[in-house]
Structure 1
Amino acid sequence: MSLVHQDVPRDAFAEVSHFRSELYACLTARGDALFELCDALLCMDGPVRTLVDLALAPEHRRGHGALYGGLNQGWIDVARRRRALAGVPLPRAVDGRLVLAVDVSPWLRPGANTCADRDLCHTFGWGEGKHQMVPGWPYSVVAALESGRTSWTAVLDAVRLEPGADIAAVTTVQIREVVERLIAAGQWRRGDPEVLVVLDAGYDAPRIAHLLDDLPVEILGRLCSDRVMRRPTPSREEFLLANPKGGRPPKHGGEFVFGNPTTWGAEQAVTVTDTRLYGKATAQAWDRLHPRLTRRAAWLDGPLPIIEGTVIRLAVEKLPSGGANKPVWLWWSRTGATNVHVDRCWQSFLRRFDIEHTFRLFKQTLGWTRPRLRSFEAADRWTLLVIAAYARLRLARPLAADLRSPWEKPTEVNKLTSARVRRGFRNLRTKTGSPAGAPKPSRPEPGRPPGSKNRKRATRHEVGRVLATGEAYTRPAHHKVGTKPRRQTSHPPRQ
C-alpha cells in the first residue's frame, strides 16, 4: 500500500502549489505571519530547537514579534483546513481500502502552572511496565496508514482533549467527522470497501463500533489480556435441552476468558504466517463474541445492546526488541471472519505503530512540543501548522531530491523518509512562490518601563480531570486493574 503518486511530476507539483494556496486561504487573521512561519518550519536547517529560531530563517521575513503575534492573535479556518487535508491523495490498502489509526499524543507541560486546561497525560517512564501521569495537553490524532516498511502516514485531524472529557465519546465524534469529510471529498464511494479504523488498548472498541454503526466503517481495537467475553445467546431448543424444567432464558451465552484456554473452544479461523521481524505469526479467531455491559458509565440510559464481533488472538515467535513475548488480543466489529479477514486485521494493527514515527517526527524534528506557549488556543494553532507542514512534505515526496550526507546510503525518490524530504523543501519552495504579502515596516511597542515590576500576576490553574459539576475526578475502585479477570466491564482501562 503506497501513496497514490501522479505519473507526471508536474501533477505532484500542482498538488503542492494548490495545497499551499488553500492553506493560505485558511489563515483568516495574521495569515502572512502564520504562513511564513509554516514555511520556515519546513525550510529550517536541522531540527527545531526553539520557536524564536524560526524567525531567523530566510523564509520568515518578519520579526519574532510577528511570530508570537500570529500564534497568539491569529485565526485559522479549521473546517476549511480539515476539508483540504481530506481532499489530498491518501494511501490505501491493496484492495483500495482506507485504513485509519487513532491515538493520543501528549504535549507535556509539567511546570506551566499558568497554562489552562492541562490534564494528566499518560506517559511511559524508565523501566518495564513503568508509567507516569504528567500534566500537559493531550491531542487525539487520526491518520491514514500505508502498508509495507514505511514511516509515512497521512494525518487528517487532531483534537485537544479537555480535562474530564470522555475519550470514547470524543473519539467517536472525531472519527465520524473525518469519515464524513472523506465521503464528501470523494475518497469513499458507495461500493468501496469499508473504512478500517484501528485502535490501541485504552479505547472502548465495542462502544465506538456501536455508536458508528450507521457509517461504512469497521472497528479493530486491542483488548486487555484479562478481559472476559460472552458467547451468543443459546437458542430456545438448546436452552430447553440444557434445562428441561424451563426457566428464564439467559441473555448471554457462556464465558470466553482470555486467560483460560479451556473456555475458548474451536476457532472460527486459524492462519500461520512467516514474517521477517516476528518469525512465525499465528492468528486465531473466534466468532460472535460480545462484552457483557452493565448499568454504569456510558450505558446508564436505554436498553443494553449486544455488540457482537470477532476476537483475534495473535501470537508471534519473537519480538525485535527482545521483550516479553505476550499474545495480542484484538476485537473486530464484524462477524463471519475468514482467513483473509484475520490476516488483514492483524497486519493492519501492526501498521498502526507507524503513527509513532509521525509523533517522533513532530516532536524531535518539527519541534511540535518545543514552544512554551501559555494559551491553549495558541497551542492549537501551532499544532494545526505542524500538521499542515507535514502534509506538504508528504505531497512533495515525488519531487524531493535525495540530499543525503556522505555516510548515508542512496535511497529511491519515493522511499525517502520525511526528514530527508524536508532537506530539499527549500529548493522546491523557491519554484512555487509565496502568496504572503511583503512585511510592512512598523515600530515596536514600548513595553513595560525599565525598572518597573510586573504587578499583574498571571492566573494559576489546577491540573487534573474535572467532572461536569466542577468536582475533582477520582478513579472508581471498579476501574482499577486487578489480577483476576474482569467479568463485567464496559470500557477497559488504558494499559
Structure 2
Amino acid sequence: MNFNTLKQVRQQVYDSFERGADALFNLCDALRCESQARSLPELSYSSFFEREWSSLYQALSNGKINDVALRQIWVKALLARIPESQTVCISVDASSIARPEAETSRDRGIIPVSNLPRAAKPISVGWQYSTVMLLPEVTSSWVGILDQRRIETAQTAIEVAIAQLQALVPLIKHPIIILADRWYATADFLRACKTLGCQVLIRLKRNRKLYRPAVRTSTKGRPPLDGPLFQGSRPDTVGGVEASLMSYDKKGKIVTVNRWSQLHVRQARDVQVRVFGVQREGAKDSPN
C-alpha cells in the first residue's frame, strides 16, 4: 500500500468514527505505535495521543464506530490491486486472549491455552475472537484482516464465522476459496458457504464420518438416505479412489495425493464434499 493510498484509507477510517472520532483515532495510533504500553493510562501518555487522559476513557465509553463502513473500507483497500477475475483465498479462525486476572471484565469465558507444561491445565479465563483474513499470494506470516469479532460466551465460533462471511462475501467481487481448520467441518458451516457460492478447503479429522451416495438394494421400505461409510481412521472404508497423483517433495520423498468425490455429511446431505488424502513418505512423527 503506497503512501497516498494509506492517507486515503486513514481518512476513510476516521470518517467511519461517528462519535468521539478524534480521540478514537488518536487511540488507534497510540495502540499501533506504543508496543510497550501495558494500560490505558500509559497509552494516554503516548505522543500520538494528543488529548488529556480523560478523553481516552470518554472515547471508549461514548464513541461510536460504523462497523459496516469500516469493513467496506478494508475490503476495498486490501483487494484494490487484485484483478476481479483472480481467485482470492481467505481464512477464518478463532484465537484466544487469556484474561485470568480481569475479574471485572465483561463476558469472560473458559478458553483453551496451548503450549503449557504438562502439569498445568490447558484452560484459562478470557475472550475468544473470530478473524477472517486475506491470505497473501506468496507464503508469508503477514495477512490482511478483513473482519474480526468477539465470540461471546453465548455464541459458538461457527456462528460468528458464518455471520462474518455473510457480511464480507457480498463485498468481494472475486472468486473465493475459504480455508479453515478441522473444527469448521460442520453441516452449518458447509451449507452456509455453499449458499454464499464459495469453495471451501477444510482440514478433516481422521475419524470424521462421511457417506457415499445412497444405493437402494431393495424395493421394500423407505429408500436409504446415506450410502457406505467413509472414515479416514478406518482403512477398510476408503476404497474406490477416484484419482491419484504421485510426486516428490523437496527432500526427494514420495508424496501421494488421492481424491474421493460425491461424499456428504449426514447433517447436510445436500452439500457434496470432495476429500483429498495426502501421504508423504517418512512423515510419521516428523515435525515437518
Length-normalised TM-score, structure 2: 0.86
* Alignment map for 1:143-222 (pairs within 5 Å): 143-182=133-172, 187-188=173-174, 194-222=175-203
Q: Which of 304, 316, 324 lines up with 2:280 in the alignment? A: 316
Corresponding residue for residue 473 of structure 1: none
Rg larger in structure: 1
Q: Which of 226, 230, 233 lines up with 2:211 in the alignment? A: 230
- Kept in 1, the 8 Å contact 2:206–2:231? The answer is no
Q: Which one has the bigger strand percentage? A: 2
Does 2:277 align with 1:307? no
Say which SS state the counterpart of residue 253 (structure 1) adopts: coil
Does 2:286 align with 1:286? no
Flag structure 2 segments of 5+ consecutive residues without an equivalent: none
Corresponding residue for residue 23 of structure 1: 13
Flag structure 1 segments of 5+ consecutive residues without an equivalent: 6-11, 189-193, 294-303, 328-495
Does 2:94 align with 1:113? no
Say which SS state the counterpart of residue 195 (structure 2) adopts: coil
2 CA distance for matches of 1:97 and 1:131?
42
- Kept in 2, the 8 Å contact 1:278–1:316? The answer is no
2 CA distance for matches of 1:278 and 1:111?
50
Say which SS state the counterpart of residue 15 (structure 1) adopts: helix
* CA 1:305–1:254: 2 relative to 1, 3 Å: closer
- Residue 326 of structure 1: CA displacement? 9.6
- Residue 206 of structure 1: CA displacement? 3.7
- Residue 181 of structure 1: CA displacement? 2.2
- Residue 77 of structure 1: CA displacement? 1.4
Q: Which of 232, 247, 251 lines up with 2:220 in the alignment? A: 247
2 CA distance for matches of 1:280 and 1:160?
43
Corresponding residue for residue 53 of structure 1: 42
- Residue 318 of structure 1: CA displacement? 6.0
- Residue 57 of structure 1: CA displacement? 2.9
1 CA distance for matches of 2:195 and 2:279?
33
Say which SS state the counterpart of residue 274 (structure 2) adopts: strand
1 CA distance for matches of 2:97 and 2:65?
20
- Kept in 2, the 8 Å contact 1:231–1:256? The answer is yes
- Kept in 2, the 8 Å contact 1:120–1:133? The answer is yes
RMSD: 2.9
Amino acid at match of 2:69: R
Higher relative contact order (CA 8 A, sep 6+): 1
Length-normalised TM-score, structure 1: 0.52
Q: Which of 59, 62, 80 lines up with 1:70 in the alignment? A: 59
Corresponding residue for residue 257 of structure 1: 231
Matched-pair identity in %: 26
- Kept in 2, the 8 Å contact 1:103–1:142? The answer is yes
- Kept in 2, the 8 Å contact 1:285–1:313? The answer is yes
More moved, 55-64 vs 96-105: 55-64
